[in-house]
Amino acid sequence: MSHDTPAAPAGGVFLETQGIHKRFAGVHALRGVSIALRRGEIYHLLGENGCGKSTLIKILSGAQPPDEGRLILEGTPLAALTPIQALAAGVETVYQDLSLLPNLSVADNVALSAQLVRAKGRLARRLDRPALRETARKALAAVDLPTADAYLDTVVGDLALAERQLVAIARAIATRAKLVIMDEPTTSLTRREVDNLVRVVDGLRQDGVAVLFVTHKLDECFAIGGQVLVFRDGQCVAEGPIRDFSKARIAHLMTGKALDEGRYRTAAPAPRVLLEVEGLGREGRFAEVSFRLNEGEILGVTGLMDSGRNELALALAGVAPAERGRIAIGGRSVALRTPADAIAQRIGYVPEDRLGEGLFLDKPIRDNIVTAVLGRLRGRFGAVDGARARALAEDIVARLKVATPGVDVPVQSLSGGNQQRVLIGRWLTIEPRLLVLHGPTVGVDVGSKDTIYRAIQELAAAGLGVLIVSDDLPELLQNCDRILVMRRGRIRAELDAATTTEEPLVRAMLAEEEATA
């Protein structure tokens, strides 16, 4: 954006999709998507979680084939792309996890793909090491990273997140990508790092590269400019230059509802203190964290990815215990050294990554619900009492309104929202006093969000303390009493959810560090 010229006009169509459909076990993820991506243009793919954004990226990058429809790549119709075809054609995808190999050097991560493409994917080839380093140097220079030998040889796992992101972009440059897809690239960057990223991306655009941002940060989209593609329920519901849209209109298109949803939170917390945390710390993760949570209160915790919010949640769950400080529940100090300690104190923890950390996908709903209380369900000879387990599971399923034919079907047959309800339901079995919810609606559709929010409010009304750790700001504003903002491992702000807005939250999350000394 340093140039005054309003940039080269958009070129010809690089990649087009026609009538793409994709279904997963009962979910119709994409329903006839037809879009065209032109060279030298920036696109913002917007939509709620579960609207089909990620599926579309996977099809564009060759990770998955479409069930119906076709792709037209530089004029050539194709039924599907393979990863190496997509790469060879110049489609480079920077997933949220960046697709970097943590054990390889910066030079390898940046420039190996280029060599792989040149070898057409065949591995019985000599490595052209001078070319590898030369490619890596040029690409790193283009994103303002160091090009010294020491840096080229640094193992990527040792780099900070923002740097890894630039390394991933450098890889796109090295493979001479014509379309760069970036999946939520700015989620955990500071403002300065975002500006740097935007500058790099604009450079790509001026070189005639098409850039597809997948994001839900509307403000950034307006700042960057370009085209929007709004998705809802597997369809592209609107497209066009972003300046022709207002924020409210985009939000309306994304949700199918009017923007301001209003607060779910209507009740007030009880006057009794449930949880008291004092000077909690864990080396290198968070420090001096102190707060109180009353019975029936809903407290939000937010911050960037590496602000320490996740680690705080894990500490309260006993997964990664705190090393310093005091935790008291109901006025009594407790030690939470293992998840079993937390369960014994009747703290329920619903992890963010419900697939990786929480649910046994191929097991029935019943088994998933009763797993935290197996000890209690033990019959006379140590075996689990099947009838009691079933009764408990059915009760929970009814309370949380899980849409399912019965408790014997495997959890993987449920939608994301219902899976999440099963996971929350598991913790209701321990009759919790405190529920720690980590990103309770990540990957959940709008309708399920609504039921999950209602369930959370009912739990709080019943006297539970609820701690929601999330980066979904509207979610916190709609559900919490107070919101704590963490940055660099410490609590930096406490805001009243009823009266504040997203602006001060974001400011507290992103504020630059120089002033803290």
Q: Which of 304, 393, 455, 493 is in the footprint of another protein by CB under 8 A?
A: 304
- Does residue number 419 form part of the binding site for another protein (CB under 8 A)? no
Of the two residues 25 and 123, which places its CB atom closer to another protein in the complex?
123
- For residue 63, which of 22, 105, 104, 14 has the smallest C-alpha distance? 22
> Residue 456: CB partners within 8 Å, gap ≥ 6?
264, 298, 437, 440, 466, 468, 479
- The residue assigned the tokens 């790469």 is 87
**What is the smallest separation between the CB atom of 159 and another protein, expressed in angstroms?**
7
Q: Determine the interface stretch with another protein among 5-13, 111-119, 323-331, 421-429 (rule: CB under 8 A).
A: 111-119
- Residue 162 interacting with another protein (CB under 8 A): yes
Q: Which residues pair with 321 in a beta bridge?
A: none
Tell which residue, 493, 501, 497, has the closest CA to residue 510: 493
DSSP conformation class of 354: I
Q: What are phi and psi of 387, to 5 degrees?
A: -65, -45
> Shortest gap between Cβ of 287 and another protein (angstroms)?
7
Does 116 engage in binding with another protein (CB under 8 A)? yes
Nearest-5° Cα angle at 231, 501 to 423:
70
Residues 6+ apart with CB under 8 A from 307: 486, 487, 488, 489, 509
Counting contacts by CB under 8 A, is residue 272 touching another protein? no
Could you give the count of Cα atoms lying within 13 Å of 146 in the half-sphere of its Cβ?
10
Phi, psi of 213 (to 5 degrees): -90, 135
String of contacts with another protein for each residue 335-374, x by CB under 8 A: ----------------------------------------
Footprint (CB under 8 A) of another protein, residues 82-101: 82-84, 86-87, 93, 95, 97, 99-101
| Total of residues contacting another protein (CB under 8 A) | 56
Q: How many other CB atoms sit within 10 Å of the CB of residue 288?
A: 13
3-state secondary structure of 503: helix
Which segment (19-27, 69-77, 153-161, 497-505) binds another protein by CB under 8 A? 153-161
CB of 99 vs another protein, minimal distance in Å: 5
**What minimum distance in Å lies between the beta carbon of 355 and another protein?**
14
Residue at 208: amino acid letter: G
The reply to whether 289 sits near another protein by the rule CB under 8 A is no
Which residues contact another protein (rule: CB under 8 A)?
A: 61, 63, 82-84, 86-87, 93, 95, 97, 99-104, 108, 112-113, 115-117, 119, 121-127, 129, 144-146, 155, 158-163, 190, 192-193, 284-287, 304, 306-308, 320, 488-490
